[in-house]
Amino acid sequence: MIDFTTVSREFRSLVERRRELLTFLGSAFAAMGLFLQNVLKGGLPPSLVQIEQHGFAFYAFVLMVLSLVLALRMAKLHGGMVLNGVLYARLMQEQDFTRKGDPVRAARNNLLGVSFLQFVLVDLIASFSAAILFLALSIPLLISIALAVWIGAVWLFLYFRYHHKAASFALKKAAEEACGPFQKNEWEDHVAQSMQQANQGMISEIAFAGLIVFSVFESLSGLGKIEAGRQADLPADAILKYGPWIYSILMVVTCFLEMLIYLRVRLAAGSFWMQLDPTDQPFRPLKLTDSFLGYFILAFLFVISLHVLLVLAIPSLEQHAAVLLGIDAAALFLALLGEQMTLLVAGRRSKR
């Protein structure tokens, strides 16, 4: 028997756990960044000189293991969400007060869905950490990058494997078992709590992006203070040459993915609201809302990250401040335009 209360509670619990995992990873990334800066400045006590001599390897190993374990947990949580999502869609086929559910559609893997994008983000941080670890172990740059990409690809394979197993099991269960009865007020309570979770999720995405960006700024500010003759598992010239590139690319990709995730959660929150009040219009563009201001923060962080990467990629832009600021303004405008166009499309679909 498929029970509505069990399915809805489990789904919300999975969403909550997924959000807390991201918060933990962001905090760990920021804390390990501070640790690395203290190592580079010689701030550890003499009794920990061995860790100081292998500071980058220690930093990267801890961050890589945490990221890989968290990515695996998120993949497992995604499998649970697929299972309960299919069962929820099956339950929605039995009611007559909202749109009908589609278990087959719920079982599909959405490459622009929140679960997949968040997994990719954690997997990216794991690959980033692995690349630094291999470099610290004196493995050549290209081989280090190839190994890091391979690790990310293996974890991506596991994600799709968990999705396929959960979807197959859920579809079989939905086809074989009957649905238990539930009332409209139970469904409304679930939708209201899901909407609240979505609003909290948008705040969490901003916090995660902020932790990554400001931690990277802290790390970049410390790279220039490395003493040329200081003994470490990575030579000072390699740190100064590749460090800003690695950190800046990570910062830009993180902010871009967070903007996509934020938009997906924003659409989910609007959809929940429309289910509770079909007369409302939560997707109206050109309206100053709390969700728009949250997206603006992410877009601003993305522009700052892009600014740093452009200065690295095209040093001559520093001599043309007007051009650089024009690129920044154009990037911000396109990011905000994308958000408004997304709301416009979602609004038209909701009317149909």
How many of the other CB atoms lie within 10 Å of CB of 62? 16
Q: Residue 304: its pLDDT value, please?
A: 94
Taking Cα atoms as reference points, which of 116, 121, 97 lies closest to residue 26?
Answer: 121
Expressed as residue numbers, the domain containing 24 is: 4-351
pLDDT of residue 41 exceeding 80: no
What pLDDT digit, counting tens, does each position of 12-29 carry? 999 999 999 999 999 998
User: Is the separation of the CB atoms in 303 and 242 below 8 Å?
Assistant: no
Over residues 204-225, the mean pLDDT reads 84
**256-285 pLDDT tens trace:** 999 999 999 999 988 888 888 877 788 888
DSSP one-letter string for 158-170: HHHHHHHHHHHHH
CB-CB neighbours of 285 under 10 Å: 15
Do 340 and 277 meet the contact criterion of CB atoms below 8 Å apart? no
Neighbours of 120 (CB within 10 A): 20
Specify the pLDDT at position 232. 58
| Residue 191: HSE in the Cβ half-sphere, 13 Å Cα cutoff | 17
pLDDT, residue 93, reads 84
- Write out the two tokens for 349: 């679909």
Greater confidence (296 vs 132) lies with 296
Dig out the tokens for 77 from the structure: 């949580």
CA gap 56, 129 in Å, rounded: 10
Tell me, what's the pLDDT at 313? 86
Among 115-119, 130-134, 175-179, 222-226, the minimum mean pLDDT is found in: 222-226
| Rounded CA separation 107/113 (Å) | 12
Cα gap 190→9, rounded to integer Å: 8
For the chain, what is the mean pLDDT? 86
Instruction: List, for residues 142-178, the tens digit of each pLDDT value.
Output: 898 899 999 999 999 999 999 999 999 999 888 888 8
Distance CA 273, CA 248 (A): 37
Number of domains in the chain: 1
Contact between 28 and 209 (Cβ < 8 Å): no
